Amino acid sequence: MDKKISKDSVFPQKRLLIIDDEENMRHMLSSMLKKSGYRVYTASNGSEALDMVDQTLYDFILCDLKMPDMNGMEFFEAARDKLWASTVIMMSAYGSIDTAVEAMKKGAYDFISKPFKLDEVLLTLKKAEERESLKRENRWLKERIRKIQDDYHFGNMVAKSKGMEAVFKIAEKVAQYDTTVLICGASGTGKELIAQGIHFAGKRAKNSLVPVNCGGIPENLLESELFGYKRGAFTGADSDRKGLFEEADRGTIFLDEIGELPLSLQVKLLRVLQENEIRPVGDSKTKNIDVRVIAATSKNLEDEVKNGTFREDLFFRLNVMPIQLPPLKDRPEDIPLLSQHFIDRFNISLEKNIKGITPAAMSILLKHHWPGNVRELGNVIERAAVLAEETILVPENFPQDLSKSSEREKLEDFFDGHSLKAAQKILEKRLITKALQATNGNRTKAARILEISHPSLLSKIKAYDINL
């Protein structure tokens, strides 16, 4: 039996917010616009509307200019950064041509004088929908082109923070040579993606990239997996078998979690790096190989050397070109870009049509500590996309413990040691960053929030190398 497909499931209702302090006006407009196919919401004043636009993206907003406490202009200025997807139409019984011009100069689409005929409202909304739909599509296309053209990508990674920009530049340079690379960083920061980017940006891209998890193969099998074996070398060795190094010949081998490599194999790996040759288990002869080695670790190998669990000579041989990946908590400016990257990916794999994230939901993501780094963010976005019933991700789509863990963060999590000067600098940098994020980079407003002078803020931004 065929399911009946409703019109609303194919053409979702447009969200429309009415902001007016007169109950009769709200009721009249709401009743009329619901009949015309809009999903209507109402607010009795500008303050209430501010909370609503923080939670939901509206397609259209009808806003009265004359209201107590917070008038229409004050609401529009306070909420401007949250109204990027909304078409705003002002209404006023006290309107004049000057007010109309001022409203539209500040970004409003149009202005309707009270009293007005209901047909005027519908006609204005229809024209706005046609015009703004085309403008948004053009803006979206331009933004996608700009992002592709900007230096936000390396391989399958996206980022715009200074820390990751430096990583991308180093990786792009080293990709052109056969230099051994050691990628360091916490779990989930994207070490394998950097290795893939280096391989496919270099001259070995047409040949194999062979990944090896050094901690995922039992120690008694690791040597034969890496270097291969001859028939009869041990019980079950019924034929000769190539090792992973030989499979990567003329290509790249990626040794992930190299810090887990047993000491007994470290010396053999050192010989491979120095002599460019391998010896399969059970063979008396060596084989020459042409392999580029990229290693990665979440451990501090210098500490491992001091503890005697990692050979110093192997560390120096691997550490020719070190690349350090910063944790996600140290580069919050990458979170919006990464979130959209994951949304685009899951829109395809999950057959969804997620367009973005509300400011309130993004605030939760920006405050979270991200112990699982980029991998954790990807999992969280995927979960939210699965749960989303609308085309915009809202706070309810994300795990409750995400916001709770952000609230539980303590000052001692942000610095080590006992120096008051060091703690003051770290706290100042964090508060300045938070203020700039809250004001969308408006330094004048941020200085006011922080209760310091504008020149003092500019000086601290430069001293702490804050890029927002």
For 42-90, how does the pLDDT look when each residue is reduced to its tens digit (9 = 90+)? 999 999 999 999 888 898 999 988 888 888 888 988 988 888 778 899 8
CA nearest neighbour of 449 among 464, 459, 462, 439: 439
Using CB atoms within 10 Å of the CB of residue 377, give its burial: 0 to 12 exposed, 13 to 18 middle, 19+ buried.
Answer: buried
For 428-443, how does the pLDDT look when each residue is reduced to its tens digit (9 = 90+)? 888 888 888 877 788 8
Note the pLDDT of residue 154.
Answer: 77
For 277-295, how does the pLDDT look when each residue is reduced to its tens digit (9 = 90+)? 999 998 888 999 999 999 9
For the domain that residue 91 is a member of, what is the CATH number? Answer: 3.40.50.2300
The number of C-alpha atoms within 13 Å of 52 and in the hemisphere containing its C-beta is 19
Residue 22 lies inside a defined structural domain of this protein: yes
Predicted confidence (pLDDT) at residue 109 exceeds the cutoff of 90: no
- Check whether residue 362 and residue 313 sit in a common domain: no
∠ CA 73-94-96, rounded to 5°? 80
The amino acid at residue 459 is S
How many helices (H) does the chain have, and how many strands (E)? 20, 16
The amino acid at residue 314 is L
Residues 6+ apart with CB under 8 A from 428: 460, 464
- Check whether residue 272 and residue 378 sit in a common domain: no
Strands 392-393 and 356-357: parallel
Q: Which of 69-73, 183-187, 340-344 has the lowest mean pLDDT?
A: 69-73
For the domain that residue 381 is a member of, what is the CATH number? Answer: 1.10.8.60
- Check whether residue 219 and residue 353 sit in a common domain: no
Whether residue 432 contacts residue 446, with contact meaning beta carbons closer than 8 Å, is answered with yes
Q: Kindly report the pTM of this predicted structure.
A: 0.60
Give the end of a domain, one of 326, 344, 369.
326
CA nearest neighbour of 112 among 72, 69, 155, 56: 72
Note the pLDDT of residue 149.
Answer: 44
Q: What is the mean pLDDT of residues 262-268?
A: 91
Whether residue 226 contacts residue 253, with contact meaning beta carbons closer than 8 Å, is answered with no
pLDDT greater at residue 11 or residue 161: 161
Token pair 């229809």: residue:
126
Domain that holds residue 348: 329-407
Note the pLDDT of residue 257.
Answer: 94
Whether residue 405 contacts residue 367, with contact meaning beta carbons closer than 8 Å, is answered with no
Torsion of CA 341, 440, 46, 356, to 10 degrees: 0
Q: What gap in Å lies between CA 225 and CA 238, rounded to an integer? A: 15
Structure tokens at 275: 């002599």
Predicted confidence (pLDDT) at residue 335 exceeds the cutoff of 70: yes
Using CB atoms within 10 Å of the CB of residue 467, give its burial: 0 to 12 exposed, 13 to 18 middle, 19+ buried.
Answer: middle
Residue 157 lies inside a defined structural domain of this protein: no
Maximum average pLDDT range among 3-12, 92-101, 153-162, 205-214: 205-214
Q: What gap in Å lies between CA 289 and CA 275, rounded to an integer? A: 9
Torsion of CA 209, 213, 214, 218, to 10 degrees: -120
- Check whether residue 443 and residue 303 sit in a common domain: no
The number of C-alpha atoms within 13 Å of 303 and in the hemisphere containing its C-beta is 5
- Check whether residue 24 and residue 91 sit in a common domain: yes
- Check whether residue 357 and residue 452 sit in a common domain: no
Residue 315 lies inside a defined structural domain of this protein: yes
Which residues, in sequence order, are bridge partners of residue 297? Answer: 184
Residue 237 lies inside a defined structural domain of this protein: yes
- Check whether residue 186 and residue 65 sit in a common domain: no
Structure tokens at 460: 């601290």
pLDDT tier at 365, thresholds 50, 70, 90? very high
Q: Which of 61-75, 117-131, 212-226, 400-414 has the lowest mean pLDDT?
A: 400-414
Give the end of a domain, one of 388, 407, 426.
407
Q: What is the mean pLDDT of residues 9-25?
A: 81
Which residues, in sequence order, are bridge partners of residue 287? Answer: 278
Residue 27 lies inside a defined structural domain of this protein: yes
Note the pLDDT of residue 1.
Answer: 42
- Check whether residue 290 and residue 194 sit in a common domain: yes
Distance of CA 313 to the CA centre of its chain: 38
Token pair 């041990």: residue:
234
pLDDT tier at 410, thresholds 50, 70, 90? very low
pLDDT tier at 416, thresholds 50, 70, 90? low
Give the end of a domain, one of 302, 326, 350.
326
Residue 190, by phi and psi: left (phi above 0), alpha (psi -120 to 50) or beta? left
Predicted confidence (pLDDT) at residue 217 exceeds the cutoff of 60: yes
Q: What is the mean pLDDT of residues 121-127?
A: 89
pLDDT greater at residue 460 or residue 1: 460
Locate the DSSP E strands across 157-283: 157-158, 181-184, 209-213, 252-256, 277-278
Q: What gap in Å lies between CA 308 and CA 304, rounded to an integer? A: 6
Phi/psi of residue 120, nearest 5 degrees: -60, -40
Which residues, in sequence order, are bridge partners of residue 211? Answer: 254
Residues 6+ apart with CB under 8 A from 199: 175, 205, 209, 251, 252, 254, 292, 294
What mean pLDDT is reported for the chain?
85
- Check whether residue 310 and residue 364 sit in a common domain: no
Give the number of residues written for the chain.
Answer: 468
Phi/psi of residue 383, nearest 5 degrees: -60, -45
Residues 6+ apart with CB under 8 A from 32: 118, 121, 122
∠ CA 266-269-273, rounded to 5°? 135
For the domain that residue 209 is a member of, what is the CATH number? Answer: 3.40.50.300
Distance of CA 455 to the CA centre of its chain: 31
- Check whether residue 373 and residue 433 sit in a common domain: no
- Check whether residue 320 and residue 182 sit in a common domain: yes
Residue 130 lies inside a defined structural domain of this protein: yes
Predicted confidence (pLDDT) at residue 306 exceeds the cutoff of 80: yes
- Check whether residue 215 and residue 350 sit in a common domain: no
Residue 459 lies inside a defined structural domain of this protein: yes
Handedness of CA 23, 25, 30, 35 (dihedral sign): positive
For the domain that residue 435 is a member of, what is the CATH number? Answer: 1.10.10.60
Q: What is the mean pLDDT of residues 403-427?
A: 61
Q: How many domains does the chain have?
A: 4
Note the pLDDT of residue 8.
Answer: 44
Residue 280 lies inside a defined structural domain of this protein: yes
Which residues, in sequence order, are bridge partners of residue 321? Answer: 181
Predicted confidence (pLDDT) at residue 4 exceeds the cutoff of 80: no
Q: What gap in Å lies between CA 406 and CA 397, rounded to an integer? A: 16
